[in-house]
A = this chain, B = another copy of it.
Amino acid sequence: MTRVLVPRVNGLCYGGDYNPEQWPEEVWAEDAKLMREAGVNLATVGVFAWSALEPAPGRYEFGWLDRVLDLLHGAGVAVDLATATASPPPWFSHRYPESLPVDADGRRLTYGSRQAFCPSSPAYRQAALALAGALADRYHDHPALAMWHVHNEYGCHNPRCYCDVSAAAFRDWLRDRYRDLATLNEAWGTAFWSQRYTGWEQVQPPRTTTTTPNPTHLLDFQRFCSDALLALFKAERDLLHRRSPGVPVTTNLMATGNFAVLDYWRWAPEMTGKDRLVSMDHYIVPGDPVAPPAAQVAYGADRTRSLAGGPWLLMEHSTSALSWRPYNPAKPPGQLIRDSLSHVARGSEGALFFQWRASRYGGEKWHSAMVPHAGTDSKIWREVVTLGGHLQRLAEVRGATVRAQVAILFDHESAWASDGPSQPSAEMSAVPEIRRWHAALWRMGVTADFAHPAHDLSRYHLVLVPSLYLIDDAAAANLHRYAAAGGTLVIGPYSGIADERDHVRLGGYPGAFRDLLGVYVDEFFPLPPGGTVSLDSGATGRVWTEHARAEAGTTVLASYADGPVANCPAITRRSVGAGTAYYLGTRLADADLAALLASAGAQPALPGAPPGLEAVRRAHDDGRSYLFLLNHAGADAVVPASGVDLLTGATWPDRVTVPAGGVVVLRE
C-alpha cells in the first residue's frame, strides 16, 4: 500500500510558510482568496510566532491563531502547524540570559535575530515543550490541522554552543560513549601533546586554543552537537505524538549546498514510520563552483529521498531570489516551475515555499515569496498560479517512488573528520566532492541515491565513494561484501584512511580499502593550489596525487604522466569476488570523471537525451510510471519517449518535444 505522507491533503501539497502575524487582519482575507486562486492546499503557520503566541511567560494568546486556522480551513487550505519553538522571544532570552549561545571564543551571542538559544539549555527545553504542548492541546483536533512542523531548520544558526551548560551536557554524552576516561584518552589520543584527562571536570568543549586542537575532540563535539539538537526534536515529537495522536509530525531539514552540520542519518530513523515524515528545505547557492542550479536541486531532492527511503516533502524553497547571500540573483522565467517539478520528479509529495507573502520589514524582506511586494501583477505570481495548476494535474503521482541503480556514499562523520584541522590538503573537503560526483551523474542523466556506508547496498548496481576518509571496520566489511556479491565500487582518493576515532589505519593507505582495491600507497603528494597533473590516458587530475603501486591482480587503467609521482598508478580496477572495485588516486576533472563513471556502469534514465534535458522516472509499485522531462536549455528538445503529458493532456506516440525551459510529465 502506498504510504500517504499528509493524509488530510488530497493530491500533491502546494503552499508555503504563512506568517499572518506580520500583517493586519484585513490582509488575511486577501491571502485566503489568493491561495484559492493559486491552488494552495497547505500552509505552514506559526514558525516564528512564539512571541505572538506567548507574549509573557505562560500567558498564551491563541485567538489570532484560531482565526487564521478557521479562515484557512474555510478556504480549503490545510495547515502544517509549527510548534513555534525556533526563535524564543526577547522576554525569554532576557529572563534566561544563560540560555543564549556562546561561541568558541567565549562570546555570548544575543537575541534580536533567530535561533538564539543553547541547544543544551534546560530553560529553553522546558519553555519550548510547554509551548508545543499548549499548541497540541488547543489544536490537535482542529479540522485544518494536517501535520505538525516541529521547530525550524535545527542547527541553522546555533549548531554548536560552547557554554558551561553545553560543557556539562557534552561530558554526559562522552560518559555514555566511552564509560571511562581511559577509553576517552585512548580514543582522542591525548598522549599526543600531553593532554591526558585525569578528571571528567577537565573535559570542555573545543573552545579556542593556542594552535591545532585535538581532531577527535572536535569530531566528538560535532557528534554531540548533532545529537543534542536531535534530542530536542525527539522531545517535541514525542510530546506531539502523545498529545495530538494520529497527526503526522516532521521538522524541516536542510539540503542546501555543502550544509552537513547535523548527521541526518541519525535523524532519519526518528522522522520515518507511523505519523512521521521527512521534509526538507532547499535553496540554490548562487555561483556555486561545483554544480549549476538545476543540479543543486537534484542533489537536495536525491539526498532527502534517500533519508526518507521514499516520498518526502519539500517544505521550503524559493520562488526567486534569496536575501542572505552577498549577491542574490532572481530566477529567470520558468525556473520556479522547473525547480518545483524537479523536486516532485525526485520524490517530493508537493512543493512548498518560504514564504507565502513577502515581508515588508525584517531580516528577510528581500527574500522572494509567492506573493511578491509588487503583488499579483508580477512574473512570480503568474508562475505561482501556473504551478498550482500543474500540481493538481500531477495528483496521481502521489505515492510513487524513484528507483535509482546508483548510490553515492555520504557520511557526515567522515566529512567532519576530513575537514578537521591539520590535514594534508585543505582542498580535500568531502561534501563538495560528493556533490561534484553527483553533478557528474546529473549531467549524464543518471539518477542516484545517497547511502550510508553501513547500509544494505545490494539493490544498487554501482556504488560510488567519492570521499570517505573515516570508516569503521564494520562498514568497511560491508563495502567489501557488496563488491564480492557482484556490485561495482568506485572509490575516490583519501578514503578508508582512519577509523571511527580518527586514528590513521597503519600499514599503507588507503587503509581499510587496501586489500579490497589491491593498491598500496606509502605517501600522499598533494598538488599545490591550482595545480594539475596529466594521466597517460589523457585525463587530468587535480588537488591530490599519491605515491602508489598496484598489487598483483590489480589492473592499472591509467598512470600519472607527469607531476610529483609520475609513472605511479592513478586509476585501477580489481575483481573482488563476483564484483569489481575501481580506485582513483586523484580528483579527476569533471569530464574525465564522467567517462570513468560511464565505463563503470552508470546508466542514464533516458539514453540519448540532449544536454540540459533532465529526465527522471517516478513509478508506483503497481507499475504506473511517470517520466519527468525538464528542459533547462534555451532550445526545444526532441527526445525518444512516449505517453500522455499530464500537464497538457497531449499524447506523444514516440518522440516528445520539450519546449525550451519547459516541462513534460509523461504517464508512460
- By a beta-carbon cutoff of 8 Å, the part of chain A in contact with chain B is 19, 21-22, 48-52, 55-56, 84, 86-91, 93-94, 101, 105-116, 156-158, 188-199, 201-204, 206-217, 286-287, 320-321, 323-324, 326-330, 332, 358-368, 372-375, 377-380, 421-427, 501-509, 520-529, 547, 564
Specify which chain B residues have a CB less than 8 angstroms from the CB of A211 in the assembled complex. 113-115, 156-157, 324, 363
Q: In the complex, which residue of chain B has the Cβ closest to the Cβ of A91?
A: B198
Q: Is the CB of B209 within 8 A of A373?
A: no
Min CB–CB distance A94 → chain B (angstroms): 5
B55 touches A196 (CB 8 A): yes
* Residue of B whose beta carbon sits closest to that of A189: B361
Chain B residue nearest in CB terms to A324: B422
30 example contacts (A-B, Cβ-Cβ < 8 A) are as follows A49-B194, A51-B194, A51-B198, A87-B195, A88-B194, A89-B196, A91-B202, A106-B108, A110-B204, A111-B195, A112-B207, A113-B195, A116-B209, A157-B211, A189-B359, A211-B324, A286-B528, A287-B528, A323-B423, A324-B422, A326-B426, A329-B525, A358-B504, A359-B504, A363-B422, A366-B422, A375-B508, A378-B522, A379-B523, A379-B547
Closest CB-CB distance, A236 to chain B, in whole Å? 16
Closest Cβ–Cβ distance, residue A371 to chain B (whole Å): 10
A526 x B378 contact (CB < 8 A): no
Cα of A108 to Cα of B106 in the assembled complex, Å: 8
A188-B361, A523-B372 known; A529 and B193 CB under 8 Å? no
Complex Cα–Cα for A370 and B129 (A): 57
Q: Give A321 Cβ to nearest chain B Cβ, in Å.
A: 6
Given known contacts A375-B507, A522-B378, A329 and B198 CB-to-CB distance under 8 angstroms: no
Task: List chain B residues, Cβ under 8 A from A22.
Answer: 189, 191-192
Q: Which residue of B88, B111, B361 contacts A192 across the interface (Cβ within 8 Å)?
A: B361
B422 touches A323 (CB 8 A): yes
A430 to chain B, nearest CB (A): 16
- Given A87-B195, A360-B504, 4 more A-B residue pairs with CB atoms under 8 Å apart are A113-B212, A116-B210, A324-B422, A372-B523
Q: How far is the CB of A597 from chain B (nearest CB, A)?
A: 27
User: How many chain copies does the complex carry?
Assistant: 3
- A212 contacts which of B363, B368, B378, B421 (Cβ < 8 Å)? B363
Inter-subunit contact A202/B363 (CB<8 Å): no
**Smallest CB gap from A521: residue in B:** B374
> How near does chain B come to A472, taking the closest CB pair, in angstroms?
15
- Contact yes or no, B328 A217, CB < 8 A: no
Contact among B207, B423, B523 with A110 in the assembled complex (CB-CB below 8 Å):
B207
Closest B residue by C-beta to A211: B157
Interface secondary structure of A, over-half rule: loop
Least CB distance from A373 to B in Å reads 5
Give min CB distance, A13 to chain B, whole Å.
25
User: Are B116 and A192 in contact (CB-based, < 8 A)?
Assistant: no
| Distance of A520 Cα from B374 Cα, bound (Å) | 9
CA distance A147 to B214 in the complex (A): 30
A112: B residues at CB distance < 8 A: 195, 204, 206-207, 209, 213-214, 217
Contacts of A48 in B (CB 8 A): 192-194
A-B residue pairs, 7 tightest by C-beta: A189-B361, A192-B362, A212-B363, A378-B522, A374-B522, A157-B210, A113-B209
CA of A585 to CA of B379, assembled, Å: 18
Distance between Cα atoms of A564 and B321 in the complex (Å):
13
What's the nearest-Cβ distance from chain B to residue A352, in Å? 19
Let me know if B21 and A191 touch, CB within 8 A.
yes
Report the Cα distance A50→B195, complex, angstroms: 9
In contact, B363 and A524 (Cβ under 8 angstroms): no
User: Would A189 and B362 be within 8 Å (CB), given that A88-B194, A109-B208 are in contact?
Assistant: yes
A368 to B522, CA, bound (A): 11
Closest to A422 in B: B323
A377 touches B209 (CB 8 A): no
* Chain B residues with CB under 8 A of A110: 204, 207-209
B contact residues around A379 at 8 Å (CB): 522-523, 547
Shortest Cβ distance from A145 into chain B, in angstroms? 21
> How far is B355's CA from A388's CA once the two chains are assembled, in angstroms?
66
Which B residue's beta carbon lies closest to that of A114? B193
B321–A424 CB distance below 8 A: yes
Contact pick for A526, options B93, B116, B329, CB 8 Å: B329
**A91 CB contacts on chain B under 8 angstroms:** 198-199, 202
Q: Which residues of B contact A201 (CB under 8 A)?
A: 94
Contacts of A324 in B (CB 8 A): 211-212, 422
Q: How far is the CA of A329 from the CA of B531 in the complex (A)?
A: 12
Find chain B residues with CB under 8 A from A50 CB: 194
Expressed in whole angstroms, the minimum distance between the Cβ of A88 and any Cβ of chain B is 7
Q: Residues of B contacting A323 with CB < 8 Å? A: 422-424
Chain B residues, Cβ within 8 Å of A158? 210
Complex: how many Å from CA A107 to CA B321? 36
Q: What residues of chain B lie closer than 8 Å to A101, measured between beta carbons?
A: 210
Chain B residues with CB under 8 Å of A326's CB are 425-426, 529
